[in-house]
């Protein structure tokens, strides 16, 4: 039997007691699942709060070393970024020069 997601069920609003409806909420630029009541009260599930926290940590600027290996150059990816985008699940990334001073990595 498939386990029902917490987000799929309706929950009671702690402000007014009415049922909240599942929605997608934008928090710090991240789209997360949550609920909104007709009174305007919004809730986010604990799993989604962790996702937002990891994304906020990943947005902090960090300095990394560029090193050479054979004919290629390497940079390390900070742990906060790797956790936020679940990099262990990604097998291929696209790297390109965005402008004269910016290298982009699309996963």
Label residue 32 exposed, middle or buried (CB < 10 Å: 0-12, 13-18, 19+).
buried
2 within a domain of the structure (yes/no): no
90-104, pLDDT tens digit by residue? 778 899 999 999 999
Same domain for 13 and 52: yes
Same domain for 81 and 44: no
5-63, pLDDT tens digit by residue? 444 567 899 999 999 999 998 887 778 889 999 999 998 888 888 888 888 888 888 89
Considering only the C-alpha atoms of the chain, give the largest distance between any 2 of them, rounded to a whole number of Å: 64
Residue 55: both structure tokens together:
């994304």
Q: Which helix (H) or strand (E) holds 46?
A: helix 46-58
Structural domains of the chain, count: 2
Higher pLDDT, 72 or 51: 72
Identify the DSSP state of 57. H
Same domain for 53 and 15: yes
Range of the domain at 18: 9-58
53 within a domain of the structure (yes/no): yes
What is d(CA 45, CA 33) in angstroms, rounded to the nearest whole number?
A: 7
Identify the DSSP state of 18. P
What is d(CA 35, CA 25) in angstroms, rounded to the nearest whole number?
A: 8
Residue closest to 11 by CA, chosen among 37, 39, 46, 48:
37
What is d(CA 26, CA 31) in angstroms, rounded to the nearest whole number?
A: 5
């Amino acid at each position: 039997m498939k386990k029902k997601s917490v987000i799929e069920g309706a929950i009671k609003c702690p402000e007014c007691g009415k049922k909240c409806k599942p929605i997608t909420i934008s928090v710090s630029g991240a789209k997360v699942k949550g609920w909104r009541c007709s009174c305007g009260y919004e809730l986010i599930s604990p799993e989604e709060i962790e996702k937002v926290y990891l994304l906020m940590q990943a947005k902090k600027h960090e300095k990394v070393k560029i090193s050479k290996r054979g004919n290629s150059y390497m940079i390390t990816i900070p742990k906060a970024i790797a956790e936020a985008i679940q990099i262990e699940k990604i097998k291929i990334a696209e790297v390109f020069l965005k402008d004269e001073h910016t290298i982009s990595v699309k996963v």
